[in-house]
Structure 1
């Protein structure tokens, strides 16, 4: 992949200009709330002293998916503009109202990640998407969009990306999660619209909503540092184990065929074989028991954390991998985690 190198120039977001070798924390007013107070988007910009690419990091497009918020906080603690090349633009909380309400959605129950590229004259969510596209994405070459599992589901740390694009593929494997999954884009999503503009975007999925997962955060921080080293923004080498992440060309959901009380026999990171028992759904007294079987052979990359399920609920998410390992679990520490 040919790495992009821009001349180091001042960068202006809102009414704040950040010179090369400087960092700034910016609050950009976006909309007035019913209380007559302003809703502002917090942005941190680190403008490196040397030429290099422009990279953005964002989290909490879904307001209850908060692991990426702490990933960005920790990354900023490590980065010094006078030892960096290029520009890092971070938006730790995109969906401010959802974050405050501990909700995935906007006040009108719409999903912000289906409203891109947005409109300056549209709904509140559409205006937020438009702002992000014009003020952040348009200024950058690469991006990392951070998410967690939704609706009480836990996700194994993973990168989802279009692996058919060689440049994106290299970025995905440089990040260093336990598994990299080939994933098409969804209409109206940030990744889809940024890709349309020629940006290369990784989607980092790790942990569950509404709580911090230390392992997911540490892997995310190390992944961002790896990515910045790969892009030439930081000095040093990518820190990996002897083996590269597993590669998946797709995944399969196991859904409940009936409602009841759920007990599972596996967790994220486990290797399962098609047809093997992975849990049961029963009635209150354990008299009427239904055995759940793995829908495919592969790695468990997502699992529900709720013990009560309805018919059709997603229970287990299994990613196909090209060669199943003989061991029962993917090592959690697949990359060296800096202290």
Structure 2
């Protein structure tokens, strides 16, 4: 049972039916210029859950930032009931410099729940966990793959939680990847606090992809619709196909160094022995065909044109479930 009451967050009071942009300011640039992390809040007059959409934990993951930007610009975040909170860029310092980490060299997604008197990244984590998360009922956190590693659109959750399974299927990404929560991550900390969270992965850093973005925006609409929060002006589309649930996966690594090119599309199922790429030298004397070492779905492709022996080339499922 939800009660419509004033929302007191980051020193501001937002009443039912109000919109607000608040921010937390943990530190300044070395020029003494203030750097704010905008938090966009939309509240309905009718009581309901509070949903949080976050992106930009890593400053170079601009595709996730674009997803939350679209939710705001298209007014998808204006709820019919309840409250939405959008934080498009958590690591504003990394975003300004187009870097994954904070200026202190730390990965924000490895310092949760943070410390009030710790490093810069740790202080941002602490502020998020203590000022925002206690107010929310459900979280969707948007990420991308690392440099050159392009992820197929996927939801990542831990195995064994039926509620997470249901919400992941409602989101409707092509793949659900069951993965263990790493220590000190945002996802792990939210789980410990009893806050359900879906982690969306899609695309690669320093890149915006329309398919990845559209998949996520449609997924966010399905989540809001499930909670009765989506405005009636928006239509909810059914996923084009059922989610493939991946319980185990492995990386196929380069046997040689050279110039690399994948020859198959992301997201397809390959058979053991299929040629899926090739590694050549710059002089036209060497051409190694990369073959699938097992049957499975390709959920990540290394798009770097240059690879070294041992580099990860393809992430392929090894086990799925119904």
Instruction: Tell me if both proteins adopt one fold, taking TM over 0.5 as the criterion.
Output: yes
Aligned positions of 1:148-163 closer than 5 A: 148-163=144-159
Does structure 2 retain, via aligned residues, the 8 Å contact 1:299–1:321? Answer: no
CA distance in 2, matches of 1:323, 1:166: 14
* Residue aligning to 2:134: 138
Does structure 1 retain, via aligned residues, the 8 Å contact 2:218–2:236? Answer: no
* Offset at residue 323 of structure 1 (A): 7.8
* Offset at residue 123 of structure 1 (A): 0.2
Alignment gaps of 5+ in structure 1: 325-339
CA distance in 2, matches of 1:309, 1:8: 55
* Residue aligning to 2:277: 279
* Offset at residue 275 of structure 1 (A): 2.7
Does structure 2 retain, via aligned residues, the 8 Å contact 1:300–1:319? Answer: yes
Deviations 1:312-335 (A, max 9, x none): 2111111246489xxxxxxxxxxx
CA distance in 2, matches of 1:125, 1:241: 37
What is the SS of the residue equivalent to 1:249? Answer: strand
TM-score w.r.t. the length of structure 2 is 0.93
2:190 to 190, 194, 219: 194
Say if 1:304 and 1:58 are closer, same or farther in 2 by CA, change over 3 A.
Answer: same
* Offset at residue 273 of structure 1 (A): 1.3
Structure 1 range deviating more: 84-93 or 241-250: 241-250
Q: What's the RMSD between the two structures over aligned residues?
A: 1.9
* Offset at residue 96 of structure 1 (A): 0.6
Give the length in aligned residue pairs.
319
* Residue aligning to 1:336: none
* Offset at residue 308 of structure 1 (A): 0.2
* Offset at residue 91 of structure 1 (A): 0.7
Say if 1:80 and 1:71 are closer, same or farther in 2 by CA, change over 3 A.
Answer: closer
Aligned positions of 1:10-21 closer than 5 A: 10-21=6-17
Say if 1:212 and 1:80 are closer, same or farther in 2 by CA, change over 3 A.
Answer: closer
* Residue aligning to 1:248: 246
1:221 to 198, 212, 217: 217
* Offset at residue 243 of structure 1 (A): 4.0
Does structure 1 retain, via aligned residues, the 8 Å contact 2:261–2:303? Answer: no
Structure 1 range deviating more: 92-101 or 25-34: 25-34
* Residue aligning to 2:48: 52
Deviations 1:132-157 (A, max 9, x none): 11122221121111101101111111
Consecutive aligned runs of 4 or more in structure 1 exceeding 3 Å deviation: 235-238, 320-324
CA distance in 2, matches of 1:216, 1:109: 28
Say if 1:54 and 1:80 are closer, same or farther in 2 by CA, change over 3 A.
Answer: closer
1:79 to 60, 71, 76: 76
Structure 1 range deviating more: 169-178 or 19-28: 19-28
CA distance in 2, matches of 1:64, 1:242: 29
1:314 equivalent in alignment to 2:322: no
Aligned positions of 1:89-238 closer than 5 A: 89-234=85-230, 238=236
What is the SS of the residue equivalent to 1:206? Answer: strand
What is the SS of the residue equivalent to 2:289? Answer: strand
Structure 1 range deviating more: 94-103 or 31-40: 31-40
2:287 to 276, 282, 289: 289
Does structure 1 retain, via aligned residues, the 8 Å contact 2:271–2:296? Answer: yes
Does structure 1 retain, via aligned residues, the 8 Å contact 2:23–2:38? Answer: yes
CA distance in 2, matches of 1:204, 1:102: 21
* Residue aligning to 1:263: 261
CA distance in 2, matches of 1:242, 1:264: 25
